[in-house]
Chains A and B, each alone.
Chain A
Amino acid sequence: MASSVKAVARENYAGNEKKTFRALFKRSYLAIPYGLFLALFVVFPLFLIVYYAFTDKSGGFTFNNFVAFFSSSTYVSNLLISIGIACVTTAVCLLIAYPVAYILSRFKSARSYIFVLLFIAPMWINFVLRAYALREILNLFGLLGKTNFLNTVIGMVYDFLPFMILPIYTTLIKMDKSLEEASADLGGNGAVTFFKVTLPLSVPGIVSGAMMVFLPSMSCYVITDTFGNSKVPLIGKLIESMFGTNANWNMGSALAIVMLIIMFITMLLTGGFKGEKETTRGNAL
């Protein structure tokens, strides 16, 4: 009797095993279309960029594109200006976004929700349309065409500010408030508590926000074109011109590789990507 029960149990177990194995097999197959799509339209294109970057117009292997890039003072200064603009934009965004996020995180949840929505809502207006709106304001103040560098930074900050506010706000909200209370109980005044407890704990939010502002502002030539009068050359614009009017795909690809390398370095420095963009953008909804 006992042995027959055992046999049935064993049979059932084996059956289940088989069933889950089959299910496992089938379910992972669901990723095949996306896998093929990624291979064809994400990974392969990057290999193509590498191929073009290391070949000349006739298709022969060469380092000349990179040599040309680093020996041209115009190109290198473009790159440095891009990095400079990105740094200034990130710093200004941080200076505005941190207090905003901090104040919002202290609100009661219902009111905080409404205010966060207020800061996020402009993001849903078309990006180029928003740039156009700001351009009209700058025009009204007579700034357009005069202070190109400043205009570019204003435009970048205007467009990327929500990307900085959201991750900082999210980390501040998730922070354990009792740590601040503990600091106060142990005799730390407001400033000490902020600089020794709150600020260090919100560093992850600052880092992901900074990455989300820094990387796009290095190449976002829509803004410089809209009201920097294209006088502030960004590396993104340079790449665009190589594929457009200049028609030098090899040079353009080399520039794209340089951008990829800078991105890679930024990621290494900031400790890499942790899907923060998703949480931020997702929270926006």
Chain B
Amino acid sequence: MMKKVLAYGFLTLVLLCVYAPIFILIIFSFTDANIVGQWHGFSLELYKRLFTVERLRNMIVNTVVLALLAAAVSTVLGTLGALGMFYSKKIWKKVLGGASNINVINAEIVIAVSLALVFSMFAFNKTYYSLLIGHVAFCTPFVVLSVIPKLKQMDPSLYEAALDLGATPRKALFRVVLPEILPGIVAGFMLALTLSLDDYIITSFTKPAEFDTISTYVYNAVKNTAKSELPAFRALAAVIFLIIVIVVVILNVRAGKKNKNETFMKKEIK
């Protein structure tokens, strides 16, 4: 009993520390005071500003569009890469797999400066292309890493069976292999999306001067507090948190259903 109380107490304490900053931002997103800690009465001014001030709106749209684009390109490139790697000779598997893992372990700052060197060599650094390539470069390896395990789990005879039954290799890939590894592809896409949304360092090195994502904008606003839009980020944090809560609830409901189905099936078997 004592042990249980201690365990729950510890978990609650850590969770409190993790969520306190976020909750305080959310509470103070409902007042338009410039500094957190001052309460100027309830108002939705910050939310209004978030969606009406053009620079703020642009920055949010930029971030989301870039993340979707980068995740889509990474998913296609990474899935093809994983497929090709999986079916190629051992030496190529090792070479490509090793090269692919470089950016997984490499420090972001090293990736950023090395890319900046290449882009400026080809004279297209600080364009939208360099930004997109930068994001694809650090997202794709994670797509590969989520697809490869699914390929390994797949029964290799499925593909051969499809060929024996008269499917062309392309058809077999699309109709048999792709559906098998789809969960890995989806996980890879989601991973790429969150990585791209989160990135600051690589974005700051490769982005066009006038282009801002949430990360670069908040970073600059925090360093140079004269910018008046900083309070609006409290509202942004609240909106993002709401989205996360919705996603988590959906995940939980789905997990609950799955559990029920499983227990139901077990009962059936009995």
Residue interface bits B176-190, CB-to-A below 8 A is 1, else 0 = 000000000001001
Contact for A43 among B89, B99, B104, B198, CB less than 8 A: B99
Contacts known (A31-B85, A118-B15, A128-B215); A273 close to B104, Cβ less than 8 A: yes
Interface size on B, residues (CB 8 A): 94
In the bound assembly, the distance between CA atoms of A217 and B182 in angstroms comes to 34
Closest approach, in angstroms, between the C-beta of B261 and any C-beta of chain A?
A: 13
B255 at the interface (CB under 8 A from A): yes
Closest approach, in angstroms, between the C-beta of B155 and any C-beta of chain A?
A: 16
A267 at the interface (CB under 8 A from B): yes
Q: Are A136 and B24 in contact (CB under 8 A)?
A: yes
Which residues 112-154 of A have a CB within 8 angstroms of B?
Answer: 113-115, 117-119, 121-137, 139-140
A52 at the interface (CB under 8 A from B): yes
Which residues 199-218 of B have a CB within 8 angstroms of A?
Answer: 199-201, 205, 214-215, 218
Q: Are A29 and B110 in contact (CB under 8 A)?
A: no
Q: In chain A, what residue has the closest Cβ to B247?
A: A124
In the bound assembly, the distance between CA atoms of A219 and B108 in angstroms comes to 8
Contact for A30 among B80, B105, B163, CB less than 8 A: B80
Residue interface bits B92-115, CB-to-A below 8 A is 1, else 0 = 100010011111111111110111
A residues less than 8 Å from B103 (CB atoms): 42
In the bound assembly, the distance between CA atoms of A130 and B163 in angstroms comes to 51
Q: Are B107 and A133 in contact (CB under 8 A)?
A: no
Q: Are B80 and A33 in contact (CB under 8 A)?
A: yes
Contact for B14 among A22, A100, A128, A221, CB less than 8 A: A100
Q: In chain B, what residue has the closest Cβ to A272?
A: B105
Contact for B110 among A256, A278, A282, CB less than 8 A: A256
B140 at the interface (CB under 8 A from A): yes
A35 at the interface (CB under 8 A from B): yes
Contact for A128 among B24, B106, B218, CB less than 8 A: B218
Q: In chain B, what residue has the closest Cβ to A31?
A: B84
A residues less than 8 Å from B36 (CB atoms): 136, 139-140
Q: Are A103 and B96 in contact (CB under 8 A)?
A: no
A residues less than 8 Å from B240 (CB atoms): 124-126, 129
Q: Are A37 and B136 in contact (CB under 8 A)?
A: yes
Given contacts A128-B214, A129-B214, 19 further A-B contacts (CB under 8 A): A28-B85, A45-B114, A46-B114, A100-B11, A119-B14, A122-B19, A125-B237, A125-B244, A129-B237, A133-B22, A133-B25, A136-B37, A139-B36, A219-B107, A219-B109, A256-B113, A278-B104, A278-B146, A281-B142
> Which residues does B use to contact A, with CB under 8 Å?
7, 10-11, 14-15, 17-22, 24-25, 28, 35-37, 77-78, 80-81, 83-85, 87-89, 92, 96, 99-111, 113-118, 121, 133, 136-137, 140, 142, 144-146, 159-160, 163-164, 169, 172-173, 187, 190-191, 194, 197-201, 205, 214-215, 218-219, 222-223, 233, 236-237, 240-241, 244-245, 247-248, 251-252, 255-256, 259
> Which residues does A use to contact B, with CB under 8 Å?
16, 19-20, 22-24, 26-35, 37-46, 48-49, 52, 96, 99-100, 103-104, 106, 110, 113-115, 117-119, 121-137, 139-140, 158, 161, 215-216, 218-222, 225-226, 236, 239-240, 243, 249, 252-253, 256, 259-260, 263, 267, 273, 275, 277-278, 281-282, 285
Chain A to chain B contacts (Cβ below 8 Å), 26 pairs: A16-B164, A19-B163, A27-B87, A27-B173, A28-B92, A29-B84, A35-B99, A49-B113, A103-B7, A104-B11, A110-B255, A117-B252, A118-B15, A119-B18, A122-B18, A126-B197, A126-B218, A127-B199, A132-B237, A140-B36, A216-B108, A218-B107, A226-B219, A263-B105, A282-B146, A285-B190
